Amino acid sequence: MSDTLAQAAPAQLGHTLLSRTLAHESTKPQSARTGCPSIDEAALGGGFRYGEMTSLAGGSETGKSLIALHAAAQHLLQHEKSEVAVIDTTGSFSAPRLRDILAFHLRVSARRVNYQQRQSGFMYEKVTVLTEGEGEGEGEGEGGGGRDLDILEKAGRALARVKVMRVFDFAGLVEAVGEVGLGWEGLEHERREREREREREKSVEMGRYRRKERQRGQEVADSQGEDDDADEDDDNNGDDENMDADADAEEEDQRITNRREKSDDSNDISAGVGMIIIDNIGNVATAEMSKSQVQGQALLCSMLRSLRHLTRNHQICTLLINAAVSLSASPSTRPHQSRSEYESPRTRDRVSQPLETVSIFASTLGKPALGKSFAYLIDTSLFVSTVPKRKEDAEVCFGGGGMRSSKREKVGILEVLKDSEGKREGRFGCFEIIGGLELRGWK
């Protein structure tokens, strides 16, 4: 009876688990940043981590897609051989917009400060590299157009490493994720083949070394006064063998050289997909859940487990853009109305209960879509919202202000709702969107 029972998994030592974790962490690339200190440092503590799945939830026009595009641009510029896979479920991806974001970061990086040591004494001169629009009227505006063309050309070359997959339903999303996995399997197969070629090269080099050692020993033995006739026969045979060995060695050297050239050419092609952006995962998942809640949740969990396995095995930074579910306001958020104005008698007692809000800001009434089970399958959950920038803007939003609502200004807030390591929960950062393109920190 006991033989048929399932046996428990063998216990693992804590030291072994620690060694595996440290080895896994040591292979992670540096976190992907957006270029906005309020988001990268204040909220995320360094940026979006590789090897983890991060959800960016928020309402429309809050800047969540723009944040993901800035992270993608920084990834393309920092990793010159890596690729970005964009799975577009809404048809809102814009290649010119990503090109402009890439050009923006290139201009920022060109505006660096160098310190050059002067030849006379221990003096340093501060030199700022000017970009387009700077220095015009001072002899620098003539070359600005050429620099801008170079920046746009470099941004266009970076777009060659962006794979955009347009999907229309949940099945298409699963196929797109599987295509990324197949691409990594092909790269892994090529890397294994290269390792085998290197092992063969090592064995050939070792065989050549041993053959030379035998020849050297034979020459020493011949010099010790053996019989002349035997020496002549041995020399003739040895010469023939040496000529054959040299010819084989030359052919093998040529094959090794050809393989190395081919390997060098293939190394310049791609380093695999290093970032995945799904915009918007709620667009296709909600459609499945509307048919059957249970079946939709099961399909979503299965897909996320596969995506998580792919993300962790290949150290991919995965960004899942999600929608937000709005919540009804409580009486405390409607100070100019009484309960009887917006409550029915049946809900008058229930509305006094606190709402299940996720934001630390009382004016933000919303939470990420796709339910609670979605949060357990990701590593980091972020929530993006907007709040009024000034007191006058708040009066317009919540009543009592005379300014038109179209003129009110907003500030974006990125909050960390969940962190797999538990270090960033509760942190937030404020940012402004300048010109629909730039992310600027706001305090």
pLDDT above 90 (res 36)? yes
Instruction: Render pLDDT for 89-104 as a digit per residue (tens, 0 to 9).
Output: 999 999 999 999 999 9
Residue 259's pLDDT band, with cuts at 50, 70 and 90, is low
Our CA angle for 375, 379, 380, nearest 5°, is 80
Q: Is 303 helix (H, G, I), strand (E, B) or coil?
A: helix
d(CA 267, CA 265): 5
pLDDT at 29 over 70: yes
pLDDT in tens, 143-194: 556 678 888 899 999 999 999 999 999 999 999 999 999 988 888 778 778 7
Helices and strands (H, E) in the chain, number of each type: 12, 13
Distance CA 359, CA 363 (A): 9
Q: Please list, in sequence order, all residues whose beta carbon lies within 8 angstroms of the beta carbon of residue 59, skipping any fewer than 6 positions away.
A: 323, 324, 326, 366, 384, 385, 386
Q: Which helix (H) or strand (E) holds 279?
A: strand 273-279
Please give the residue that has the higher pLDDT: either 251 or 138. Answer: 251
Average pLDDT, the chain: 76
| pLDDT tens profile 369-422 | 888 888 889 999 999 998 888 777 777 676 655 555 556 788 899 999 999 888
CB 162 within 8 A of CB 84: yes
- pLDDT-derived band at 88 (thresholds 50, 70, 90) equals very high
- DSSP element (H, E) containing 165: strand 162-166
**Burial class (CB within 10 angstroms; exposed 0-12, middle 13-18, buried 19+) of 394:** middle
What CA–CA distance (Å, rounded) separates 421 from 52? 11
Checking DSSP bridges between strand 113-117 and strand 124-128, what pairing results, if any? antiparallel
Of 37 and 18, the one with more pLDDT: 37
Q: At what angle do helices 95-110 and 144-158 cross, to 10 degrees?
A: 130
Question: Under DSSP, is residue 308 helix (H, G, I), strand (E, B) or coil?
Answer: helix
